[in-house]
Amino acid sequence: MVSREISAFAAEEEKRVLSLKPVLAPSHGRYGDHPHQSYDAWPAREPGAPLVILLHGGYWRYDRMHLTPFAAYLSQQGFDVLLPGFRRSGGAGGYPETFDDVARIVDTLPEGRPYLLAGHCSGGHLALWCAARGLLPEGSRWHTTALPTGVLALAPITDLTATRRDDLSDGAALQLLGGTEVFEERLPAVDPLTLLRGAGTTGVPTVLLHGAADEEVPLSQFADYAAVHEDLRTVVLPGTGHYTLIEPGAPGARAVADTLRDMSAAFGARRPGTDSGKATTR
Distances from the Cα of 106 to the Cαs of 82, 113, 129, 148, in angstroms?
11, 11, 11, 7
pLDDT at 130 over 50: yes
> What's the whole-model pTM score?
0.94
Instruction: Determine how β-strand 27-30 pairs with β-strand 38-42.
Output: antiparallel
pLDDT tens for residues 195-217? 999 899 999 999 999 999 999 99
pLDDT band at 187 (very low <50, low <70, confident <90, very high): very high
Residue 3: other Cβ atoms inside 10 A: 11
Average pLDDT for the chain: 93
3-state DSSP call for residue 203? coil
pLDDT per position as a tens digit, 27-84: 999 999 999 999 999 999 888 899 999 999 999 999 999 999 999 999 999 999 999 9
Let me know: does 209 contact 154? Beta carbons within 8 Å: yes
| DSSP structural state of residue 54 | E
Closest by CA to 281, choosing from 185, 179, 207, is 207
Quote the pLDDT of residue 274: 47
Q: Which CATH class is domain 8-281?
A: alpha beta
pLDDT of 269 reads: 64
Break the chain into its structural domains and give their ranges: 8-281
Evaluate whether 210 touches 244 at the Cβ level (below 8 Å): no
- Whether residue 272 is predicted with pLDDT greater than 80 in this model: the reply is no
Q: Are 142 and 133 in contact (CB under 8 A)?
A: yes
**Which pLDDT value is given to residue 46?**
87
Report the largest interatomic distance among the alpha carbons of the chain, rounded to a whole angstrom: 51
pLDDT at res. 118: 98
The DSSP bridge pattern shows strands 80-84 and 38-42 to be antiparallel
C-beta separation of 244 from 17 below 8 A: yes
Is a pLDDT exceeding 50 seen at residue 256?
yes
Beta carbons within 8 Å of 50's beta carbon, 6+ residues apart? 78, 79, 80, 114, 115, 116, 260, 261, 264, 269, 270, 272
Percent with pLDDT over 90 in the chain: 90
Calpha distance 240→257 (Å, rounded): 15
Structure letter (DSSP) for residue 66? G
